[in-house]
Amino acid sequence: MAIGKNVPRVDAVAKVTGRARYTDDYHMPGMLHAGYVRSTIAHGRVTRIDTAQAAALPGVEAVYTFEDVPQTLFATAGHPYSLDPAHMDVADRLLLTGHVRYHGDEVAVVVARDRLTLQAAIAKVAVEYEPYPVMVEGAAALAEGAFEIHAGSRNRIGESRYQTGQDVDAALAAAPIRIESHYRSRIVQHCHIENHIALAYMDDLDQITIISSTQIPHIARRIVGEALGLPWGQIRVIKPYIGGGFGAKQDVVLEPMVAWLTRRLDGRPVQIDLSREECMIGTRIRHPFDIALRAGADEEGRLLAMDLDVISNSGAYASHGHSVAAAGGAKMRSLYPNAQVRYHAQTVYANIPAAGAMRAYGSPQVLFAVECAVEEAARRCGMDPLAFRLKNVVRPGDKDGLTGKPFLSCGLVECLEKGRALIGWDEKRAALAGGQDGPIRRGLGVACFSYASGTFPVCLEIAGARIILNQDGSVHVQVGATEIGQGSDTVVAQMAAETLGIPYEKVHVVSTQDTDVAPFDTGAYASRQAYVVSNAVKRAAEELKEKILAQAQYMTGIDSAALDLQGGAVVYVEAPERRVMLLGDLALASYYDKEHGGGQLTADVSLKTRTNAPTFGCTFVEVEVDIPLCRITIREICNVHDSGRILHPIMAAGQVQGGAAMGIGAALYEELLVDAESGWIYNNNLLDYKFPTPVDIPEIGWAFVETTEPTSGYGNKSLGEPPIISPPAAIRNALWDATGVKIDTLPLTPHRLFRHFKKAGLI
Partner 1 sequence: MFPISDYKKATTIEEALALMAEDPGLRPIAGGTDILIKLHKGKPGYDRLVDIHDVAALSGIRLNDSGDIVIGPGTVFNQVIANELIQTHLPVLATALATIGGPQVRNMGTIGGNLCNGVPSADSAPALLVFNATVTLRSHTGVRQLLVADFFKGPGEVDLAPGELLTAITIPAADHRDHFGHYIKYAMRDAMDIATIGCAAAVAIEGDRLGDLRLAFGVAAPVPIRCPAAEAAAKGRPLDGELAERVAAAVLSDVRPRDSWRAAKDFRLQIIGELARRALRHAVMNAGGRLPCDRP
Partner 2 sequence: MRQTIAITLNGSPRRFDVDVRQSLMEVLREQAGTLSVKQGCGVGECGACTVLIDDAPVDSCIYLAVWADGRAVRTTEGECRDGQLSPVQQAFVEEGAVQCGICTPGFVMAATALTERRPGEPLDRDAIRRGLAGNLCRCTGYATIVTAVEKCICREEE
- Pairing verdict, β 32-38 and 270-273: parallel
Task: Name the burial class of residue 343, with classes exposed (0-12), middle (13-18) and buried (19+) by CB atoms within 10 angstroms of its CB.
Answer: buried
244 contributes a contact to ligand FES by CB under 6 A: yes
CA 44 to chain centroid, in Å, comes to 32
Contacts of 354 (CB under 8 A, 6+ apart): 102, 283, 284, 285, 314, 315, 316, 317, 318, 319
| CA distance linking residue 497 with residue 118, whole number of Å | 49
517 contributes a contact to ligand FES by CB under 6 A: no
Residue 111-150 contact track with partner 1, rule CB under 8 A, x = bound: ---xxx--xx--x---------------------------
Instruction: Output 244 or 301, the one with its CB closest to ligand FES.
Output: 244
Return the residues of window 188-207 that contact partner 2 according to CB under 8 A. 190-195
DSSP 222-274: HHHHHHHT--GGGEEEEE-B-S--TTTTSB-SSHHHHHHHHHHTTT--EEEE-
Instruction: Output 38 or 466, the one with its CB closest to partner 2.
Output: 38
Residue 193-222 contact track with ligand FES, rule CB under 6 A, x = bound: x-----------------------------
**Amino acid occupying residue 108:** A
Q: Which stretch binds partner 2 (CB under 8 A): 3-11, 91-99, 430-438, 619-627?
A: 3-11
630 contributes a contact to partner 1 by CB under 8 A: yes
Instruction: Output 70 or 750, the one with its CB closest to partner 1.
Output: 750
Judged by CB under 8 A, which of 165, 243, 584, 750 binds partner 2?
A: 243
User: Distances in Å between the alpha carbon of 330 and those of 161, 362, 367, 401, 649?
Assistant: 10, 10, 11, 10, 29
687 contributes a contact to partner 1 by CB under 8 A: yes
CB 658 → partner 1: shortest distance, Å?
18
Instruction: Output 484 or 746, the one with its CB closest to ligand FES.
Output: 484
321 binds, among partner 2, partner 1, ligand FES, none (CB under 5 to 8 A by kind): none
Instruction: Output 263 or 752, the one with its CB closest to partner 1.
Output: 752
Q: Which of 548, 557, 622, 629 shows the shortest CA–CA distance to 589?
A: 548
Judged by CB under 8 A, which of 242, 492, 646, 666 binds partner 2?
A: 242
Residue 623-662 contact track with partner 2, rule CB under 8 A, x = bound: ---------------------------xx-xx--xxxxxx
HEC assignment per residue over 616-646 = EEEEEEEEEEECCCCEEEEEEEEEEEECECC
**Amino acid occupying residue 4:** G
29 contributes a contact to partner 2 by CB under 8 A: no
485 contributes a contact to ligand FES by CB under 6 A: yes
Instruction: Output 25 or 559, the one with its CB closest to partner 2.
Output: 25
- Residues 49/129, Cβ–Cβ less than 8 Å: no
CB 726 → partner 1: shortest distance, Å?
23
| CA distance linking residue 304 with residue 174, whole number of Å | 10
Backbone angles phi, psi at 356, to 5 degrees: -150, -150
| CA distance linking residue 410 with residue 464, whole number of Å | 28
Number of residues that bind partner 1 (CB under 8 A): 33
- Residue 341 pairs in a beta bridge with 306
- Residues 709/613, Cβ–Cβ less than 8 Å: yes
Residue 655-684 contact track with partner 1, rule CB under 8 A, x = bound: --------------x---x-x------xx-
Interface with partner 2 (CB under 8 A): 6, 8-9, 11-22, 24-25, 27, 116, 190-195, 241-244, 246, 275-276, 484-487, 650-651, 653-654, 657-662, 685-687, 691, 693-695, 697, 699-700
Binding site for ligand FES (CB under 6 A): 193, 244, 485
